[in-house]
Amino acid sequence: RPAPLPWMRYSETLGETAFRFLFMSVPTMILLWLVYHPKLLLPATWVHGLAFMIAFVLAVHIYFAINFLTGLIAVFTLKIQGFLWAKFLIVQLLSGLLVPLSFIRPGWLRDIVEMSPFAFVAHTPLMIYLGKVTADDLLGKLAWQSFWTLALLGLCAWAWSLTVRKVSIQGG
């Protein structure tokens, strides 16, 4: 019996993340370590390092959920390319991958973006690693990231149940 589609996509995400980490991130970190200084790559403190690892795992799950929900749109529409481009641009902009979120003005808009699930994909884990999140704020950031992870994975389960009802395959 084949694996359920959500689990197959989840496994693909984990494999892709591991591949990118091993063959893109690690060589880049080694090169930076050789060119600059060993302290450059270390987290601000051991607490920030531990919090970063937790934030990284949660970020992978949030990114999976965003991609999975975007992919489910294909069942309900004729063309998905526009949605894929929109998702790409939104994630790039609101996660801080394209422009650091600290550049967003006015401040109230930055505060809203920093609480969105997109910020927890890249911005928050990076700020934790760099020590820009104070020790007092670490638990709050991880709690919000956990909330978004559970909320989006719950939304994935709900959306998948709707999708399964819509799709009918010949032969049962």
Q: What is the pLDDT of residue 169?
A: 62
Q: Could you say which DSSP state residue 168 is in? A: -
In the predicted model, residues of the chain with pLDDT beneath 50 are 170
| pLDDT one-digit tens code per residue, 148-168 | 999 999 999 999 999 888 776
Work out the angle between the directed axes of helices 5-20 and 135-166 (0-180°, nearest 10).
140
Predicted local confidence at residue 39, as pLDDT: 67
pLDDT at residue 168, rounded to an integer: 62
| HEC assignment per residue over 36-78 | CCHHHHCCCCHHHHHHHHHHHHHHHHHHHHHHHHHHHHHHHCC
